[in-house]
Amino acid sequence: MADPLNCFVPHDGGPIAGAASGPLAGLKFALKDIFDTSGHVTGCGNPDWLRTHEPATANAPVVDRLTAAGATMIGKTHTDELAYSLQGENFHYGTPLNSAAPGRIPGGSSCGSVSAVAGKACDFSIGSDTGGSVRVPAALCGIFGMRPSHDRISLAGAMPLAPSYDTVGWFARSAALLERVGDRLLDSADRKLAPRRLLTMAEGFAIADASVRAALAPVVAGIGDMLGGVREVSLTGGEAGLKDLMLTFRTIQAREIWGTHGRWIETTKPKFGSEIAARFAWAKSTSELPLAGEAERREAFTKELDALLGEGDVLCLPTAPSIAPPKGQTLEASQHFRDRTLSLTAVAGLARLPQINLPLARSEGAPLGISIAMARGADRALLALARRIADRFGGSLQAPAEG
């Protein structure tokens, strides 16, 4: 397969044809290389993983569900190593193209999946979102991306990372197609909530670049008009509280990641890129520290968000704090972007919420994303709202106005 985007893996087993008819008939999708396809090794972004694992004996259920609906899987896509990054720059396989901002990162870890959709190699794609790995790439590449409620879609046949955060996610260039794909992937047990007020997260906007706030302001106002009003809320009491929230997320995540992959890493001693190697070393050291109430803080935060959003209010925050950074950043700059971004994505991750990136603004010639989230289990209601908002702003892709 010709791959000008550098989004497809070289060890792909080939396409999987969709059913002749169905609600997704004629559509093509790409699949992040952490999901199994029968008879082929799932590479997970690292050659040593590819070398030390056996071929899958069955397709991941998400693949079968989509092909049964008529969609054809055209190829598997690059991921950051073991999906543990938000950058999308793979040491072994290179960086998929961010066609909306060439020279800038596509975001990760679902970097190949976002590149395939943004670059029009397929109609939609499947990724995974643990700490933001669908939401953030969607924002940086200017397309729609959905993280569903935790445990809403089966992750069987997918490489786990941090199981209490891991979700299947998906990308599309239109909110209408994002919703159509969700109809196939989600079960029918959606919470019957009607979206009402828009709640803007004060500390989330505060940590974003000033240019981001300026570009998103008219979008927030327009969505607020649709929903009958806007109210600013603080979820953490300020930026210090937001940092604590992010550290709670990262600590739980690190413990789970080392519990999932530590034995394989210590046995195999795989070759990682320097940033990923440092991250796994930090996960190991974190796993050796005594528990410090992180799980209790998470449950308290989840209850707070359940109460806040339980009547249909819609939470709004920037998806990422800036436009896509340039490729090849220093480790320090990369970590700064990661920490600021995780401060935003940790909200839905900790509270298990569904969240959608809406590509409705630009700054410095690059896409910006704004996110909406609703109560746990209200995934279909959120998808329908995203479609209404996209229609309100004039179509399937980002508004042309610059911030």
14 part of a folded domain: no
Overall number of domains in the chain = 2
**Is-contact 45 95, C-beta < 8 A?**
no
Pair 177, 207 in one domain = no
Interatomic CA distance for residues 169 and 241, integer angstroms:
28
Quick one: how many helices (H) and strands (E) in the chain? 12, 10
- pTM for the whole structure: 0.96
Lowest mean pLDDT among 17-26, 186-195, 329-338: 186-195
What is residue 187's predicted lDDT score, i.e. its pLDDT?
82
Q: Say whether pLDDT at 214 is over 80.
A: yes
Pair 161, 236 in one domain = no
What is residue 189's predicted lDDT score, i.e. its pLDDT?
82
Which of 28, 32, 149, 363 is catalytic? The answer is: 32
Give yes or no: 21 in active site: no
Give yes or no: 154 in active site: no
Please name which of 157, 188, 180 lies closest in space to residue 37, comparing C-alpha atoms.
Answer: 157
Answer left, alpha or beta for residue 328, where phi above 0 means left and psi between -120 and 50 means alpha. Answer: left
CA 356-113-30 angle, 5° bins: 110
Q: What CATH number should be reported for the domain holding residue 135? A: 3.90.1300.10
What is residue 239's predicted lDDT score, i.e. its pLDDT?
87
Kindly state the average pLDDT of the residues 280-288.
Answer: 97
Pair 49, 89 in one domain = yes
Size of the chain in residues: 403
What is residue 261's predicted lDDT score, i.e. its pLDDT?
98
Kindly state the average pLDDT of the residues 28-54.
Answer: 98
Q: Say whether pLDDT at 322 is over 80.
A: yes
Domain limit, last residue, from 155, 185, 215: 185
Name residues whose C-beta falls within 8 Å of residue 295's C-beta, 6 or more positions apart in sequence: 252
Interatomic CA distance for residues 343 and 245, integer angstroms:
7
Pair 102, 236 in one domain = no
Residue carrying structure tokens 């010709």: 2
Which of 109, 174, 363, 371 is catalytic? The answer is: 109
For the stretch 345-360, pLDDT in tens is 999 999 999 999 999 9
Pair 68, 178 in one domain = yes
**Is-contact 116 29, C-beta < 8 A?**
no
Structure tokens at 90: 């793979």
Query: pLDDT averaged over the chain?
Result: 95
Confidence at 402, pLDDT banded by 50, 70, 90? very low
208 part of a folded domain: yes
Q: Say whether pLDDT at 399 is over 80.
A: no
- Do you find a cis peptide bond into 109, omega within 30 degrees of 0? yes
Q: Say whether pLDDT at 114 is over 80.
A: yes
For the stretch 12-22, pLDDT in tens is 888 999 999 99
Domain limit, last residue, from 185, 215, 239: 185
Counting residues of the chain whose pLDDT is more than 70, the rounded percentage is: 98
Pair 141, 288 in one domain = no
What is residue 2's predicted lDDT score, i.e. its pLDDT?
85
191 part of a folded domain: no
Pair 89, 117 in one domain = yes
Kindly state the average pLDDT of the residues 121-141.
Answer: 98
Q: Say whether pLDDT at 395 is over 60.
A: no
Q: Say whether pLDDT at 378 is over 50.
A: yes
Q: CA dihedral in degrees (42, 44, 50, 53; nearest 10)?
A: -60
What is residue 397's predicted lDDT score, i.e. its pLDDT?
45
What is residue 18's predicted lDDT score, i.e. its pLDDT?
98
Kindly state the average pLDDT of the residues 146-169.
Answer: 98
121 part of a folded domain: yes
16 part of a folded domain: no
For residue 25, the tally of other CB atoms under 10 A from its CB is 13
Interatomic CA distance for residues 174 and 15, integer angstroms:
24
For every residue of 319-343, DSSP letters joined together read SSSSSPPBTT--HHHHHHHHHHHHH
Pair 202, 268 in one domain = yes
219 part of a folded domain: yes
Kindly state the average pLDDT of the residues 33-61.
Answer: 98
Name residues whose C-beta falls within 8 Å of residue 376's C-beta, 6 or more positions apart in sequence: 149, 150, 191, 306, 351, 352, 353, 354
Kindly state the average pLDDT of the residues 189-205.
Answer: 94
Pair 217, 167 in one domain = no
Confidence at 398, pLDDT banded by 50, 70, 90? very low
Which of 133, 149, 343, 396 is catalytic? The answer is: 133
Counting residues of the chain whose pLDDT is more than 90, the rounded percentage is: 94
As a 3-state breakdown, the chain gives helix, strand, coil percent values, each rounded to 5, of: 40, 15, 45
Pair 360, 264 in one domain = yes
Distances (CA, A) of 73 to 30, 54, 155, 232, 352: 6, 21, 18, 42, 28
What is residue 305's predicted lDDT score, i.e. its pLDDT?
98
Pair 220, 304 in one domain = yes
**Is-contact 58 42, C-beta < 8 A?**
no
Give yes or no: 38 in active site: no
Q: CA dihedral in degrees (163, 168, 171, 176; nearest 10)?
A: -130
18 part of a folded domain: no
Interatomic CA distance for residues 314 and 365, integer angstroms:
28
Pair 203, 181 in one domain = no
Residue carrying structure tokens 């925050």: 317
5 part of a folded domain: no
Q: Say whether pLDDT at 280 is over 80.
A: yes
- Note down the domain range covering 354: 198-392
Domain limit, last residue, from 185, 206, 237: 185
Name residues whose C-beta falls within 8 Å of residue 104's C-beta, 6 or more positions apart in sequence: 98, 140, 323, 324, 325, 326, 327, 366
For residue 294, the tally of other CB atoms under 10 A from its CB is 17
Q: Say whether pLDDT at 403 is over 80.
A: no
